[in-house]
Chain A
Amino acid sequence: MNPKRINNIATAVIYGLVGIVVLILLFLIGYILFNGVPDISWKFLTTPAQAFSAGGGIRDQLFNSLYLLVLTLLISFPIALGSGIYLAEYAPDNWFTNLIRTTIEVLSSLPSVVVGLFGYLFLVIQLHLSFSILSGAIALTFFNLPLLTRSIEESLNSVSDLQKQAGMSLGLSDWRTITRIILPVGLPGILTGVILSAGRVFGEAAALIYTAGQSAPIVNYANWNIFDPSSFLNPMRPAETLAVHIWKVNTESVTPDAHLISSASSAVLIIVILIFNLSARFIGNWLYKKMTATR
């Protein structure tokens, strides 16, 4: 065969394979949305789940997912920020820094089920936190930290060195230069990273099954006392999230309308994550423009 023919065939094969991938994605999204969206109703979103009969909603699961997300970000963001600043600004170029980077890579490559099991062992059993939102949030923090740290480090590194020199040359402390000059410039990138990580946290289930638990007790949404066991804000109650709910109704439950619940819940999950992804792009760009151009 002559080279030209091979070139044409290869190109055709590549186009074909790319086409298949695009079709797979279209199928996935289409399947979820077409099956799920018609079943999403206000009632579905606002009624509690039913274990043995049809017609249950996802009110508590949806709230739990959001609450867990907020708590996770509250715990993981400050730690990731400090670590990201350390790696981007303070870390010297030596074997110890290399070791730290390796450690973070190891953490990020651990399977989430292993992180979840560690959470179970350490938080639920050792620290007696029991199956609770707090255990879940800390476990998700383990899972979230390495990626968030890396994205913060990258955002800070992308800020021009000239800004740091300007701060230094005015006699500002490194810390003030970093927090008040470099950080604001890197903010759009950091925010994008946080929102993207929020999407991953929102969909995570394996790390939660044995930390936040698999049950969603009925809570009182009018009780704002976080220490009251029946309050919706109490972080010490078990909390099944939306992703865990999908897994549970498909594998262990006897709910008659499991398929309907899962497809509608999947659609909700995907839509929320889509919103996260789109807003990450949008907010990042918007903030960047706002910071660099006209105020």
Chain B
Amino acid sequence: MKEIQNKLLTKSKATREDHFGRAICYLCIGLIIALVVCILYFITSRGIATFTQNHVNIWGFLAGTNWNPGSVDAHGNPEVGALPMIVTSFSVTVLAAAVATPFALAMAIFMSEIAGKKGTKFLQPVIELLVGIPSVVYGFIGLSVIVPLIRKIFGGTGFGILAGTIVLFVMVLPTITSLSVDSLRAVPLSYRQASAALGANRWQTIYKVILRTAAPGILTAVIFGMARAFGEALAVQMVIGNAVLMPKSLVSPASTLTSKLTTDVGNTVMGTLPNNVLWSLALILLFMSLFFNLLVRFIGKKGSIKK
């Protein structure tokens, strides 16, 4: 009895094992958190150097249209207007998402409502494969197929927002599709049965019941697609033309935030204005990524309350 009592009251190997395991897991998760904090801190502190050290006017940076960080304008202020890149980034993002959404919805409806298991079994790998193709390969195909095609049809160089949109359209398609499929599948079967019982045909059920119920999920899917498009660098950089000009048409060379970053970070000297201002571009990217994240959360919350 005394012996058993002792055993019950003292720590054993199992207790130590558990402390050890917990310590390891806490360490790992701590590393990830420290990493994210580090990323946010470094990019932010670098990104605001343009404004704190080089005393560039934030408004001039966000709304200026002349980009030539090496030189100064008539008033002696450096020419660091990032608006052309901001506009181009948003244009390709919105256009790509706008083109991709109908296709993605069609795929999603097809997979969850129309095709049986067989059709889904065939389309699932299609989507996974599209996700798996690396962005440089998309860029390469864009460069060797899309750009010449646009050049042939519209003249000019072929580089520009249109080419970027087409490449990004294919890249965000699988993202939007697979998330939409998830949200369509989450609509309870009883909704479909209720609708069918009221005499609605398939399209009426899809359009009036399923799509409406799944709307928050689909919106989330589109935002995820936009986040991917906004952050994509190399594929866009290869087809956009990389000229920091206010885009005049869809087929004139332009430059996105990401494409400017990839081309120029290696060509500037750390700590100088031309370099600092690039980190400010990275900061915009970071902010947008956080913004998309927040938006998704917000929609998720609203959607769940409605249910």
Contact = CB atoms under 8 A, between A and B. Distances in A.
Contacts of B173: 21
Interface stretch (B20-28, B73-81, B183-191): B20-28
A54 B297 CA distance: 52
Contacts of A14: 106, 109-110, 114
Contacts of A109: 224, 227, 231, 289, 292-293
Residue from B20, B25, B224 whose CB has the most chain A CB atoms within 10 Å: B25
Contact of B107 (A21, A32, A100, A114): A21
Interface stretch (A38-46, A170-178, A223-231): A170-178
**How many residues of A sit at the interface, in one of the four size bands?**
35 or more
B3 interface: no
B233 A206 contact: yes
B14 A117 contact: no
A110 B135 contact: no
A266 B233 contact: no
A14 B258 CA distance: 34
Given A4-B201, A103-B32, A114 B286 contact: yes
Contacts of B170: 24, 28
A149 to B, nearest CB: 7
B33 A205 contact: no
Contacts of A115: 39
Contacts of B39: 107, 110, 114-115, 118, 142
Contact of B21 (A7, A13, A174): A174
Interface string B63-99: 0000000000000000000000000000000000000
B116 to A, nearest CB: 14
Contacts of A103: 32-33, 36
Contacts of A24: 170
Nearest to B263: A251
B231 A111 contact: yes
Interface string A160-179: 00000000000111111011
Contacts of B22: 90, 175
Nearest to B22: A90
- Secondary structure at the B interface, as helix, strand, loop or mixed, is helix
Contacts of A269: 134, 136-137
Contacts, number: 236
A68 interface: no
Given A113-B258, A121-B46, A173-B14, A246 B137 contact: yes
Contact of A206 (B46, B135, B230, B297): B135
A277 B29 CA distance: 28
Interface of B: 13-15, 17-18, 20-22, 24-29, 31-33, 35-36, 38-39, 42-43, 46, 102-103, 106-107, 109-110, 114, 123, 125-126, 128-130, 132-137, 139-141, 143-145, 170, 173, 201-204, 206-207, 224, 227, 230-234, 237-238, 258, 261-262, 265-266, 270, 279, 282, 285-286, 289-290, 292-293, 297
29 contacts: A4-B201, A7-B204, A14-B109, A18-B123, A21-B126, A28-B170, A31-B141, A32-B141, A78-B28, A82-B28, A82-B29, A83-B28, A103-B36, A104-B36, A107-B32, A109-B224, A110-B286, A113-B231, A113-B285, A117-B279, A117-B282, A118-B42, A142-B35, A142-B39, A205-B135, A205-B234, A214-B266, A243-B134, A251-B237
